[in-house]
Amino acid sequence: MRQLLTVLSAVVLFAYPFAVYFGIDKYGLSMVGILLFAAMGVRLLSVQRTQLQELKYVARITAITGMSLVGLGILFKQHGWLTFYPVIVNLCMLVVFASSLKQPQTIIERLARLQEPNLPPSGVNYTRKITVVWCLFFIFNGLAALYTCFQPLKVWTLYNGLISYLLAGSLFAIEWVARQFIRKDHQTK
């Protein structure tokens, strides 16, 4: 049952922009707010299974902040509060990724070592560079999300519910393809 609730909360949070855009018109801010508040509450409670401490931190902070924004939206009867959630998520991710650059292992290196414990020095250098790339992405994406908070809800939903996911997915896919070429190149040397 706990896993089902975790999956459902993840789906609701992934669809957050659409829940805000379509849900408020159809069901009202209070009903959508209660659903989002509950999904973030479940996320907050289920975060214990995450292996990396930094990701637990991000999940907790974003859940608490999201619950606060939803609460403010309901309290003041203004959906605009809800639009700042993607900004907070990007800011939290930026803090986690950027702060890991000051540590011996970046967060991406730690994730890579879950699959490849004996990561070679070239892999360590690569993960550090990719961490910088993701930091730049979170800066750009967070600023774009902030800009859309002051645009019509359609624009906010289009960017935060589609374009930002496509950009993140594209970056992930490009990085994965590049990694395969780099691995192959290092294996032939």
Residue-level pLDDT, tens digit, the chain, 189 residues: 556 655 666 676 778 898 899 888 899 999 999 988 988 888 788 776 656 677 777 888 888 999 999 999 999 999 999 999 999 999 999 999 999 999 999 999 988 888 888 888 888 899 999 999 999 999 999 999 999 999 999 999 999 999 999 999 999 999 888 888 877 766 665
pLDDT value of residue 47: 73
Q: Residue written as tokens 């519910």?
A: 161
Helix (H, G, I), strand (E, B) or coil at 38: helix
C-alpha 167/C-alpha 181 separation (Å) is: 21
Q: Which residues contact 105 (CB under 8 A, 6 or more apart)?
A: 113, 124
C-alpha 119/C-alpha 178 separation (Å) is: 17
- Token pair, residue 6, equals 């975790």
C-alpha 13/C-alpha 36 separation (Å) is: 7
